[in-house]
Amino acid sequence: MSKTVRWGILGASNFAKRQMAPAIHLANGGELTAVATSDPAKAADFVAMAPGLRIHDSYEALLADPDIDAVYIPLPNHLHVEWTKKAAEAGKHVLCEKPIALNAAEIDDLIALRDSTGVLIAEAFMILHHPQWTKAQALFRQGAIGKIARVGATFSYNNPDPNNIRNRKNIGGGGLRDIGVYIFGATRFVTGEEPDRILSTRIDWDGDVDTTAHLTAQFPSFHYTGLVSMRMAPYQEIVFHGDAAVMTLTAPFNAGVYGEARIALSGPEQTTQVWRFTADNHYVRQVAAFNATVQGGADYACPLEFSRGTQAMMDMVFDAVR
């Protein structure tokens, strides 16, 4: 493989255009080499960003390109496993949007494929690459909040568009699959714990799509409350509440877009320490970390085993609903 990781993107989605293509272009250790789309007009913005970009008219053609080392997959959720497998079988490393699968058993298949092919397969859970989250995990492990009792996580936005892929059940839509991964995965990352059981669920439906989900769960050391919604005003926050302090992240999932990434640690006598993270782009850091792992560097921060744990919690929620 070349010293530089040469990337291809399967599809010309708006998210790929706005976030991940620029991140691939800017991250150390890689370059954006090709995009696959059957619509040349959709490729124009990608070409403007990376002159000399190759445009393939099919996903299969891009996977057959010997000059591509890694692919990014921003396709609708129900296509993630299929095209991750095809890319890995073609010898390409894969960074696939979340959720990488629709149930934990599918991730077991991907782990087996990763191990048999030797390629890196990972879910694009970008927040784990942001220093806000590594600092939050470090504070927790240092005992900064004392003995944990409660975690509360909220992530909402308002998107009633019936044509949006998030509002189409048949392609893996729904609020839990879209943003539940954040409130579940972030909690698991900081605490290092897995849920024992789902205590309660209340789901609002629009047809067959879950639009708002309230749930509670019991972890070994704490009680968990979560809310995700695609029909409420934009809001995001996660709180880790211990017997010594409260740790609050005020823009935990869309740092720099929703607001400034910040950690506030409120301790005894109303004293508060604040850490601010103003300049870090978690998409760029994610791609740089992926490149470094492909090139023989450190272990990747979000392996498939971690993603499987988040999906297992998602499965537990859907089982509780049923």
Exactly one of 86, 92, 98, 135 is catalytic; which is it?
98
pLDDT in tens, 268-318: 888 999 999 988 899 999 999 999 999 997 899 999 999 999 999 999 999
Look at residue 1 and tell me whether its pLDDT is greater than 60: no
The pLDDT value recorded for residue 2 is: 58
pLDDT in tens, 152-161: 999 999 999 9
98 is catalytic: yes
The model's pTM is 0.96
User: What is the mean predicted confidence (pLDDT) over 25-46?
Assistant: 93
Domains and CATH numbers, the chain: 5-125+284-298 (3.40.50.720), 131-279 (3.30.360.10)
Q: Is beta strand 231-242 parallel, antiparallel or unpaired with respect to 246-249?
A: antiparallel
The pLDDT value recorded for residue 3 is: 86
Name the residue among 74, 154, 139, 120 with its Cα closest to residue 301. 120
First to last CA, the chain: 47
